[in-house]
C-alpha cells in the first residue's frame, strides 16, 4: 500500500494501546517516513520486551526514506537495535539522542552500516515529498523535539513526549516562538502526547522545584546513607542529585551500567554543563563509598520502576557484592509510578523495608519528582500555539486517549479521532478519516529472537503457566502392541500422592484404547490420546493442560 499523490496518510504501529512501543508511519505520494521505534516492557512468560510489528514497513521498504527520532527514551528508540538490521533506512536525530544511540549500537557488528544523521534545529530535513523540521521541546531527557512535517497535501505536527518547563536546569526550553509561527502557518493535524492527561495538575512543574525538594529532604537525614533512584535517561535529575550531594558535603557513588552509559553519552555533547562536570568529579567507587561514614556518601541508581535487573532491585535482593543496604540507609524514589509497574515496585520496596531500609516516595513528598509529560494546562497552551485543525491523541492506553480526546474537544479543537495501531488515517484539509486497516501485532523479544506475541510459542507458554502439562511416553512393538506401561510425567499440576496410581490407570486405558482403534496411524493415536487426556484432566482436576505424547518403536 503506497499513498497516492494527493493523499496524506498516518499509520500508527504502536503506542496507542499501552505505554510504550511508540511508532508511527506518515506517507504521501508513494513515500513513507517512520517516527520513533520504541519498545514496551512486558515481563511475563519469559518475555521482557515488546517491539512494534514491522511487517508492513518491510512490505514497502524501498519507499521508506527515513526514521525520525523525537527523543532518546527507550519507548521511542529501544527497538532500533533489534529492528534496524531489517529496515536499514537512514536515521535522523538531534545531538543528544544521537550520542545515546551510538552508545546503544556500539556493541553490534553492523553499527558502522547505520547512516546516523545528526540534525540541527535550524536546518530542516528535505526529502522528496517531505520537509521535516525539529522543534525544541522540554521533557525529562535532553534533546527532546517535536516534528513539524510539511507536505504539498498538508502539515502535521508530532509532539513526541514533552512538557512546559519555564526554568529547565539542563537542556533546552520549549521553543514557544517557533511553535507560534507554525500555528500561523497552519497545522492540519496534531499528534499529541496523552501520558499525563489523567493528572489533576494544571502545571507539570519544573526541575528547579525538584532540586529544592531533594535538598530539603537530604538535609533531614544527616546521619543516614542516602540512595536516590531515578531514570538513568533523566540527565537533569542526575545533575540535580549531583548538586544536592555536593551541597550536603556527600561524595557520589553511581550504581548500575545504564547510569554510566548515560554519563558517557552526555559527555560527548554540548549539554555537558559545569555542574555536571563537577558532579562527575565527585564520583567515588563502590568500594570507596562503603568505607565512608554514612553521612558522607550518596548513591544514585536506576530501579525506580521495580525493574528486575535494575541496580536497586539487585541491592534489595542483596546481590551487589560490595554494597549492602540496611538500617543505616534511606532510599528516595525520585520518580512517579508508570502505570502497570505498581506490583513490581511494591515487591522491591517490601524487600528494602524488611532489610531495615527507610523509603521515601512521592506519595508523601510529591515535589521530589515532576512529570516529563504535559499537564492539562500544558496541553491547552500547546493547542493555543499550534491552533491545529484536528488532533489524534497518541502515547497512552485507551483510557488516556479517550480522556485526551474529550479534553481536546472541550478546548475547541474542531476535529479529533481515536486511532488504533494499524489504522490508516487520511488527513484532508484538517479532516480525519480511517481509510484502511493494516494487520499489526507486537513482536516479543524471546532471548535473542523476535517472535509475534500471537505465536504458538507464546500461546503454549500461556497454557502451561495456567494449566501445567502432561507428558506421556510409551513403546510400541513392530506389530503396534504396547510393550510397557506408559511413562507419565506431570508439571505444574498438583496431584496428591495417592491419586497418581488412579491417574496412571486412567491414562493407560486411554492409550490402549486409542492404539486398538487407530493401529498404524501414529498421528491419529497422538491426536486422540491428547484430546482424551485433556478431557480427563478437566474432569478430575479442572485443568486443561498441554499434553505431549511420545511414541517409540522397537
Q: What is the mean pLDDT of residues 51-60?
A: 96
Cell of 449: 529472537
**More confident of the two residues 199 and 289:** 289
β-pair partners for 33: 26
Report the distance separating Cα 8 and Cα 426, nearest Å. 6
Number of CB atoms found within 10 A of residue 554's CB: 7
Cell of 321: 557484592
321-379 confidence digits (pLDDT tens): 999 999 999 999 998 887 778 888 999 999 999 999 999 998 887 788 888 899 999 99
User: How far, rounded to the nearest angstrom, does the alpha carbon of residue 180 sit from its chain's CA centroid?
Assistant: 32
User: How far, rounded to the nearest angstrom, does the alpha carbon of residue 428 sit from its chain's CA centroid?
Assistant: 32
CA distances from 23 to 11, 422, 538 (A): 9, 11, 42
462-507 confidence digits (pLDDT tens): 999 999 999 999 999 988 889 888 999 999 999 888 888 889 999 9
Q: Is the pLDDT of residue 398 over 90?
A: yes
Q: How confident is the model at residue 153 (pLDDT cuts 50, 70, 90)?
A: very high
122-146 confidence digits (pLDDT tens): 899 999 999 999 999 999 899 999 9
Predicted confidence at residue 403, as pLDDT, reads: 97
Q: Is the pLDDT of residue 413 over 90?
A: yes
β-strand pairing of 125-126 with 131-136: antiparallel
Q: How confident is the model at residue 202 (pLDDT cuts 50, 70, 90)?
A: low
User: How far, rounded to the nearest angstrom, does the alpha carbon of residue 178 sit from its chain's CA centroid?
Assistant: 30
- CATH number for the region 456-553 comes to 3.10.20.580
- CATH number for the region 207-365 comes to 3.40.50.10710
86-134 confidence digits (pLDDT tens): 999 999 999 999 999 999 999 899 999 999 999 999 899 999 999 999 9
The domain segmentation of the chain, as residue ranges, is 9-201+371-447, 207-365, 456-553
Instruction: DSSP letter for 111, please.
Output: G
Q: What order do you get walking across the sheet with 189-193 strand by strand?
A: 125-126, 131-136, 145-150, 155-158, 189-193, 390-394, 415-416
- CATH number for the region 9-201+371-447 comes to 3.60.15.10
Cell of 512: 490402549
Task: Assess contact for 195 and 161: CB atoms under 8 A.
Answer: yes
Q: Is the pLDDT of residue 205 over 80?
A: no
pTM of the model: 0.89
Amino acid at each position: 500500500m503506497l499513498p497516492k499523490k494527493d493523499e496524506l496518510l498516518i499509520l500508527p504501529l504502536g503506542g496507542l494501546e499501552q505505554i510504550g512501543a511508540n511508532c508511527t508511519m506518515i506517507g504521501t505520494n508513494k513515500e513513507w517516513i517512520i517516527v520513533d521505534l520504541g519498545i514496551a516492557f512486558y515481563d511475563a512468560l519469559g518475555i521482557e520486551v515488546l517491539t512494534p510489528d514491522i511487517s508492513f514497513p518491510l512490505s514497502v521498504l524501498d519507499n521508506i526514506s527515513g526514521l525520525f527520532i523525537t527523543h532518546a527514551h527507550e519507548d521511542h528508540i529501544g527497538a532500533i537495535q533489534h529492528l534496524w538490521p531489517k529496515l536499514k533506512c537512514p536515521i535522523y536525530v538531534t545531538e543528544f539522542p544521537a550520542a545515546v544511540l551510538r552508545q546503544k549500537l556500539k556493541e553490534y557488528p553492523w553499527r558502522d552500516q547505520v547512516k546516523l544523521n545528526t540534525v540541527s534545529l535550524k536546518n530542516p530535513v528535505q526529502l522528496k515529498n517531505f520537509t521535516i523540521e525539529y522543534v525544541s521541546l522540554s521533557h525529562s531527557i535532553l534533546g527532546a523535539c517535536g516534528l513539524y512535517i510539511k507536505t504539498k497535501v498538508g502539515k502535521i505536527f508530532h509532539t513526541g513526549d514533552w512538557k512546559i518547563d519555564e526554568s529547565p536546569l539542563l537542556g533546552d526550553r520549549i521553543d514557544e516562538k517557533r511553535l507560534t509561527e507554525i500555528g500561523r502557518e497552519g497545522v492540519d493535524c496534531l499528534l499529541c502526547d496523552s501520558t499525563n492527561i489523567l493528572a489533576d495538575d494544571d502545571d507539570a512543574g519544573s526541575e528547579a522545584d525538584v532540586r529544592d525538594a531533594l535538598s530539603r529532604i537530604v538535609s533531614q537525614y544527616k546521619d543516614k546513607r542516602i540512595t536516590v533512584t531515578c531514570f538513568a535517561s533523566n540527565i537533569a535529575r542526575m545533575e540535580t542529585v549531583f548538586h544536592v550531594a555536593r551541597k550536603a558535603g556527600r561524595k557520589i557513588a553511581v550504581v548500575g551500567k545504564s547510569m554510566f552509559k548515560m554519563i558517557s553519552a552526555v559527555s560527548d555533547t554540548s549539554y555537558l554543563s559545569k555542574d555536571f562536570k563537577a558532579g562527575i568529579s565527585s564520583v567515588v567507587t563502590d568500594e570507596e563509598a562503603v568505607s565512608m561514614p554514612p553521612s558522607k556518601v550518596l548513591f544514585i541508581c536506576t530501579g525506580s520502576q521495580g525493574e528486575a535487573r535494575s541496580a536497586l532491585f539487585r541491592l534489595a535482593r542483596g546481590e551487589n557484592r560490595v554494597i549492602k543496604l540496611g538500617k543505616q540507609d534511606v532510599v528516595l524514589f525520585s520518580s512517579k509510578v508508570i502505570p502497570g509497574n505498581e506490583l513490581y515496585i511494591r515487591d522491591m520496596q517490601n524487600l528494602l523495608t524488611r532489610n531495615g531500609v527507610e523509603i521515601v516516595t512521592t506519595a508523601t513528598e510529591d515535589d521530589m519528582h515532576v512529570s516529563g509529560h504535559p499537564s492539562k494546562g500544558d496541553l491547552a497552551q500547546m493547542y493555543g500555539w499550534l491552533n491545529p485543525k484536528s488532533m489524534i491523541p497518541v502515547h497512552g492506553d485507551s483510557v488516556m486517549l479517550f480522556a485526551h480526546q474529550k479534553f481536546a474537544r472541550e478546548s475547541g479543537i474542531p476535529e479529533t479521532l481515536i486511532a488504533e495501531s494499524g489504522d490508516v488515517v487520511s488527513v484532508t484539509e484538517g479532516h480525519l478519516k480511517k481509510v484502511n486497516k493494516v494487520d499489526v501485532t507486537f513482536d516479543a523479544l524471546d532471548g535473542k529472537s523476535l517472535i509475534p506475541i500471537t505465536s504458538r510459542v507464546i500461546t503454549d507458554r500461556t497454557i502451561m503457566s495456567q494449566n501445567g502439562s502432561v507428558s506421556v511416553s510409551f513403546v510400541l512393538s513392530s506389530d503396534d502392541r504396547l510393550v510397557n506401561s506408559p511413562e507419565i510425567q506431570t508439571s505444574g499440576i498438583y496431584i496428591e500422592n495417592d491419586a497418581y496410581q488412579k491417574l496412571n490407570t486412567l491414562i493407560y486405558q486411554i492409550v490402549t484404547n486409542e492404539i486398538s482403534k487407530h493401529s498404524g496411524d501414529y498421528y491419529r493415536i497422538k491426536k486422540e490420546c491428547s484430546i482424551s487426556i485433556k478431557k480427563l484432566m478437566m474432569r478430575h482436576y479442572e485443568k486443561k493442560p498441554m499434553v505431549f505424547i511420545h511414541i517409540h518403536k522397537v
